[in-house]
Structure 1
Amino acid sequence: MSSVEQIMKEALALPSASRALLADKLVESLEFDVDETQQKLWIEEAKKRRDEVRNGTVIPIPGEEALARVRQLLD
């Protein structure tokens, strides 16, 4: 059995909380450098949307309702 297969077998035997932590750390280790300009633009957009919800400019709807509307538009 290869070392990767052995590690996977051992990891799958861990309790779910430990597997979740391990998965999080593995995904984190795959993240690469982010374009700072792009990251700044996404943060600005997120803050703008947050502020629109907070000041009542935009009324959020539940995700299920949003998906239902999209499905209706696609039909």
Structure 2
Amino acid sequence: MQRAIQGAPPGFDNLTVHEQIEHVQALWERIAAREDDVPVPERHKAELDRRLAEVEAAPDAGRSWEQVEADLRTRLSTRR
């Protein structure tokens, strides 16, 4: 039996899991559309600054997305 979540909108618990996920995604899209209204904690800003400084200090230290993706696809293909 499904447990009702406190604060869920009326009828939410009667939706299928797929419908609930779609509902939550739609809500998030509405929130994200107003990005200037979404507060960003100072610790997140500090972490972004730290990571940016790290990349700028050693721009060739990482790998491109294409390299990472190719490695992942190789790994996944050997598991099948």
User: TM-score, structure 1 length as denominator?
Assistant: 0.38
Structure number with higher helix proportion: 1
User: TM-score, structure 2 length as denominator?
Assistant: 0.37
